Amino acid sequence: MPVTLDNAKRTALGSKLADIKALQNLLIANEQKFLSEIKDQDIRDRMQDMLNDDQKNLGILKYPLSLFGSSTFLGCHKCLRDSIFLLTDRQLYK
């Protein structure tokens, strides 16, 4: 028997999934920037593997977001995007 979710739970799941997606995008962006600066080939290969894994994780998030987060994601994505911009602009790249 399938489990049904009320709108509040569906919205909460969508919000959490949107947060995870935004953080995953931040990780990917930072790994790409860091990767371009690495000179050591062994470390570069390891970072590339991490980047590949994170890109796969981002792809995996698409399905549950389509179930729980389509409307929620649109609402909170702008807030998360603005927060990530401030974080990357002010803290990570001084």
DSSP for 27-68, please give it: HHHHHHHHHTT---HHHHHHHHHHHHHHHHHHHHHHHHIIII
The alpha carbon of 89 is separated from its chain's Cα centroid by a whole number of angstroms, namely 17
Structure tokens at 91: 């803290």
Q: Name the more confident of 88 and 6.
A: 6
Which of residues 78 and 25 earns the better pLDDT score?
A: 25
Which helix or strand (DSSP H or E) is residue 94 part of? none
What is the pLDDT at residue 6? Answer: 78
Q: In the prediction, which pLDDT does 94 show?
A: 42
* Per-residue model confidence as pLDDT tens digits over 42-68: 999 999 999 999 999 998 988 888 877
- The confidence score (pLDDT) of residue 72 equals 47
3, containing H or E segment: none
Mean pLDDT rounded to a whole number for the chain: 78
